[in-house]
Structure 1
Amino acid sequence: MKTFNKYIYFAATFALFAGCKPSFESPKKSEGTADFTRYISVGNSLTAGFADNGLYLEGQQNSYPSIIAKQMALVGGGTFTQPLFTEAQANGSTYLKLTGFNPNGTPITTTVTENNAVRGKVTIPGFGDVTLLTKYSGDLNNYGVPGIKLKQITYAPYGNLNPYFERLLPGNPPTNNTTYLDFVTAKDFTFFTDWLGYNDALGYATSGGAGDVLTDKTQFAQLYTLSISKLTEKGAKGAVATIPDVTSVPYFTTVTVGAILGAVQKANPQAQALYVNARATVDITNTTYAPRAATASDLIVLTFPTAKIGAMVTSPVGMVPYGLTPYAPIENQYVLDNNEVTIVKDYVTDYNKTIKAVAATKGLAVFDAYFYLNGVKANGLLIDGVSANSSYISGGIFSLDGVHLTPRGYAIVANQFIKAINSNYGSTIPAVNISNYRGVKFPN
């Protein structure tokens, strides 16, 4: 009897479930506590979609803000308009393309100059020549301006000096006097992303510490606080990003001391070292330089003309081989020496403390680009069936200039912003599939 009752119980249960058709509901897409009706992006070249040492149409179309905006539209976000170049001027400011490889495996690049958007040049007294690009007018959501530093966002004449900012303004040089901060906040918005600050360290680094200066830490903190206060004063919410470790990009990790010396020693086994003109201390106020043997901690820039090594040059003691003697060391602009590396890392760390602290006071989402991109350098990525890493060209993330990103790199960044936004505001913006975005474009 117990067995029969058990049978009846299981049969009834089976009949109950058999009568129910399984249903699967996708999670409801939501903007959470944020409002994406009018989203704007504030920042520099990374925000604009700069790639391959230029700003051109394909790069703009694959900027991380445009990718984010397309995903925001799935949860109620509004139209996102960029200052795109026309198809007739699709090559914008000109850019690099990969055309082949030398027998030793080094890449061959050429500059694409046809169909560009250059409209002329103007000489600004006290500054010099500024290349002018075709003007853009109309609606605008992507305010990315290549080259801009945080310390320039309140400088009124800047619209006469930066061609990417000048093309967005109605006036012509030297009559422009609208600050960048006033420009981006002139029209109301509901949400923003902000990735300003990178150039405040990058310019110093890429010049080998010789052609630019780091923005003062106190000035950076004051201006970052001011900018976020201005962006949030009418209730807009947003997401910010920290500054990447500028010394970890391919611009500084591709051409190494060891590789150059190894190539030299194949032809001249007696060569013992490369010599660089290096900063004497980590004291930023001490500008004393002296030649010394290079170490693996000294970073050679991607654009260093390696053919110069060993060439006979004039020195105080006569003709000597360039780079192979302390009498003709590699010049400052080609190397970020170990003391300069320490200095720039210290400044970036301080800048990032400011970014995180200010963001916390306003309850903003934070994409920690410093932490994330260092992790990519150390471990690589496997996302959506695509392997990616920080290697030059083959890694798929960084473009031919070794600093800015490929469409795939920008898609990866967009997903990290989306992740931070969803976590902070309870939204469910879907991520993009990075396999839909290319890495470096190889020759046909």
Structure 2
Amino acid sequence: MNNFKNIFILTAGILSFAACKPEFKKPTATSGTADFSRYIAVGNSLTAGYADNGLYLEGQQNSYPSIIAKQMQQIGGGTFTQPLFTEAQANGSGYVKLTGFNAAGSPVLAPITDQLAVRGVVPIPGFGNVTTYAKYSGDNNNYGIPGMKLLHINYAAYGNLNGYYERLLPGNAGTNSTTYLDYVTAKPFTFFSNWMGNNDALLYAVSGGAGDVLTDKTTFTQLYTLLLSRLTAAGQKGICATIPDVTAIPYFNTVTPALVLASVQKANPTVQAIFINAKSTADVTSTTYAARPATSADMITLTFPTSKIGTPVATPAGNLPYGLTPYTPIENLYVLDANEVALAKDYVNSYNTTIKTVAASKGIAVVDMYSFLNDIKAHGLVVDGLTLTSNYITGGIFSLDGVHLTPRGYAIVANQFIKTINAQYNSNIPLTSVATYRAVKFP
């Protein structure tokens, strides 16, 4: 009898607990104070989904705006259409893939040259040859144009000089006059993301400070103000992103002066330094360069052909080993020297101050990608059970060109945008699952 009584009391207690169990209700979907019915993305190669040194279908499909839009659709966001390459031309501009590693452990990359969307090459007087791509004429929400600077947004001839922009316009190269600013605002929209301005510093940096120039700071401020004024002209809301530290990417942190020197010293221990042709001052107007030994403050590009080190170079003093004497320094295009690094950092910091100030004046959210990506470089990132870093190939975030992102990297970026949008506009866009997106493809 006592046993029966105890069982009765226990059962009653369980039923009572079950009756009081709290209910976990899914939050009501809300866009908060924003309207995501027509979201557009403004920017350059990062916005387009560029990866592995090319624009191709898989990269486009995994662009961060596309990922954001998918998450927006879960709370009532509208359709997001991209100017995708067709399946028959899925390799787009062409790109590179990892085929293995050589005996020294260095990656071996091979170009993809089939199923391209290349339409031809057009000579533009006063400019040079422009590669054009298969035209796209449908609806478009992703206005990412690889290679584009903020400096180009109001330049009427730009549709003739950039094949990625030319493919979106009805005219052929040489006949276009639609500015990018007019193109992206031609159709009404309710929300935007804007990651413009990266190339105003990046193209200078990746050319070793030799093949491009930094956009003037005052000009940058004027154009960014113009861009935000146009994007918010009808009261639209949106999000802007700061420019990453262009010197923190794998493109500049994989092939280091110390690694190159150590490799040389294995064969010739008497070598004490490698030499570079370096900018003499951190004055942006200075064009004076001089040979000197490389230091840890100098950055060698990922594209530097290390096999050139030590090869004979004809000089007035006879044949001397490349990179190992003041008479045969590594050329400018392969090195962002310490003074150029300082310039790039200074201009990026100035651009980011402009971005934050102008966005704040319009009540627009800002996601600080500069701080976020630098924090990953310093400390790594753990998300969805994955440990990620900024390391080349193994880190999982950066693609094979050392500049742009993998699909996993773009998913991480998308989540940062989403977190900032939710915080600014009281929306509840769900985050994406980073683990469902791939990192670098291994053979």
Per-residue CA deviation, residues 9-46 of structure 1 (Å, 9 max, x unaligned), is xx999986554454221222211110000000000000
426 and 102 in structure 1: CA distance in 2 versus 1, 3 angstrom threshold: same
Query: Is the Cα contact below 8 Å between 1:388 and 1:397 reproduced in 2?
Result: yes
Query: Is the Cα contact below 8 Å between 1:202 and 1:246 reproduced in 2?
Result: yes
- Residue aligning to 2:4: none
Per-residue CA deviation, residues 135-161 of structure 1 (Å, 9 max, x unaligned), is 001110000000000000000000011
Letter in 2 for 1:81: T
Quote the Cα distance in structure 2 between the aligned partners of 1:435 and 1:371. 23
Q: Secondary structure at the match of 2:247?
A: helix
Query: Is the Cα contact below 8 Å between 1:316 and 1:327 reproduced in 2?
Result: no
- Residue aligning to 2:234: 234
Query: Is the Cα contact below 8 Å between 1:148 and 1:199 reproduced in 2?
Result: yes
284 and 19 in structure 1: CA distance in 2 versus 1, 3 angstrom threshold: closer
Quote the Cα distance in structure 2 between the aligned partners of 1:356 and 1:41. 18
Seq. identity, %: 68
1:23-422 residue pairs with structure 2 within 5 A? 23-422=23-422
Per-residue CA deviation, residues 375-420 of structure 1 (Å, 9 max, x unaligned), is 0000001100011110000001000000000000000000000011
Quote the Cα distance in structure 2 between the aligned partners of 1:19 and 1:344. 63
Gaps of 5+ in 2: 1-10
75 and 269 in structure 1: CA distance in 2 versus 1, 3 angstrom threshold: same
Letter in 2 for 1:436: T
- Residue aligning to 2:434: 434
Quote the Cα distance in structure 1 between the aligned partners of 2:15 and 2:201. 69
Letter in 2 for 1:316: P
Structure 1 moving runs of 4+ over 3 Å? 11-22
Letter in 2 for 1:351: Y
Query: Is the Cα contact below 8 Å between 1:255 and 1:300 reproduced in 2?
Result: yes
Q: Secondary structure at the match of 1:261?
A: helix
Q: Secondary structure at the match of 2:239?
A: strand
Quote the Cα distance in structure 1 between the aligned partners of 2:141 and 2:316. 57
Aligned residues: 433
Quote the Cα distance in structure 2 between the aligned partners of 1:235 and 1:117. 38
Letter in 1 for 2:153: I
State the TM-score, normalizing by the size of structure 1. 0.96
Letter in 2 for 1:289: Y
Query: Is the Cα contact below 8 Å between 1:311 and 1:322 reproduced in 2?
Result: yes
Quote the Cα distance in structure 1 between the aligned partners of 2:431 and 2:419. 8
Letter in 2 for 1:310: G
Quote the Cα distance in structure 1 between the aligned partners of 2:94 and 2:201. 25
State the TM-score, normalizing by the size of structure 2. 0.96
Q: Secondary structure at the match of 1:340?
A: helix
Aligned-pair RMSD on alpha carbons?
1.3
Per-residue CA deviation, residues 137-188 of structure 1 (Å, 9 max, x unaligned), is 1110000000000000000000011000000001112110000000000000
Query: Is the Cα contact below 8 Å between 1:38 and 1:191 reproduced in 2?
Result: yes
18 and 409 in structure 1: CA distance in 2 versus 1, 3 angstrom threshold: closer
Gaps of 5+ in 1: 1-10
Per-residue CA deviation, residues 265-314 of structure 1 (Å, 9 max, x unaligned), is 00000000000000000111111100001001000000000000011111
Q: Secondary structure at the match of 2:142?
A: coil
Quote the Cα distance in structure 2 between the aligned partners of 1:399 and 1:438. 11
Quote the Cα distance in structure 2 between the aligned partners of 1:176 and 1:96. 31
